[in-house]
Amino acid sequence: MTKDSTKKDEKSKTKRKPKFILIGILLLYTYLAFTITTTPTDLMQYTENQVSFMLSENGGTAQANSITALSGLYSVNLDIIVSGQTQNIDAFITPDGSLMILGDSYDIDKSLVSGEEYEIPRAEIPLGDRELTLGNPNAPVTFVEFSDVECPFCERFYNDGLAGIKKLVEQGKVYFVYKHFPIQGHNEAIPGALAIECAADQGKWVEMHDLIFENQDSLGASQYKSWAVQIGIDATEFNNCFNSEKYLSKINADYQLGQSIGVTGTPKSFANGISISGAQPFTSFENIILSEIEAGNA
């Protein structure tokens, strides 16, 4: 073998070395990813970091408060902070950190014998004579949302989750019910709710609701009254209703009902009583609704 060929072999080995180093780093990273989340404390920190990363695009962050061992899972309680507003949720994560779910979980009774079905917990939500609704009350799914007009997470739900719900309403598959859950510290939560209720007196609650969530950064009494004129309702009637706080007791009743069924923050929704927490995209809870539609049509 010539000296030249020996030099070429040495060069080729030199060129290949970085590749093997990179592979080694990737393998080490993969190993660490599966071994770093071995203790509850590690899992809690890992969950906080992952959720913070998901929120970072919108300037948000997450803070883990506690971790609880469940049956084959861990539940991490988190405060989600976006635009100065805080929402409390639970994240469910596997012991190896390979799967994480944000939202609600349901306890499964392992004592159930084979062949028996587990019944998903459902909230009982009584509806009154005067509700803010869309669609056919005989639709297979009744979807109830508890909302706050000043909540940034409710705005996010309006732009995605509710948009998907409205399509099913148009198809006659969902009956939508909107309820108020004004959060303490949100100065426009009750006035905005009053504006929606007063617009409902003239058959325009949806129009007022949509304008509020599309202009959440400019809420106020003068704006509600201006929007009332914009959507074509009688200004005097609206102003009298709004100024007298005609529907304050109804708003308070919605809030108390929400508290009685476990609502602690907004948005909080129920599909035939099945709980859906937070500003989840429609795709994350669509299967729940579709399975309820299928069951209702069976």
Same fold for the pair 40-102 and 132-297: no
The CB density around residue 110, as the number of other CB atoms within 10 Å, is 8
From first to last of its 298 residues, the chain has per-residue pLDDT tens of 544 544 444 444 444 444 444 444 444 444 444 444 467 778 888 888 888 877 777 778 888 877 877 767 888 878 788 777 677 777 888 887 777 777 654 444 444 444 555 567 899 999 999 999 999 999 999 999 999 999 988 998 999 999 999 999 999 999 999 999 999 889 999 999 999 999 999 999 999 999 999 999 999 999 999 999 999 999 999 999 999 999 999 999 999 999 999 888 889 999 999 988 878 889 888 989 999 999 887 6
DSSP class of 288: H
The predicted model scores a pTM of 0.67
The CB density around residue 165, as the number of other CB atoms within 10 Å, is 25
Residue 116 has a pLDDT of 52
* Edge-first strand listing for the sheet containing 141-147: 132-134, 174-180, 141-147, 268-271, 274-277
Class of CATH domain 40-102: alpha beta
| CATH code of the domain occupying 132-297 | 3.40.30.10
What helix, strand, coil percent values describe the chain, rounded to 5? 50, 20, 35
CA angle 248, 250, 251 (to 5 degrees): 65
Can you read off the two tokens belonging to residue 290?
Answer: 């579709």
Question: Domain residues of the chain, as ranges?
Answer: 40-102, 132-297
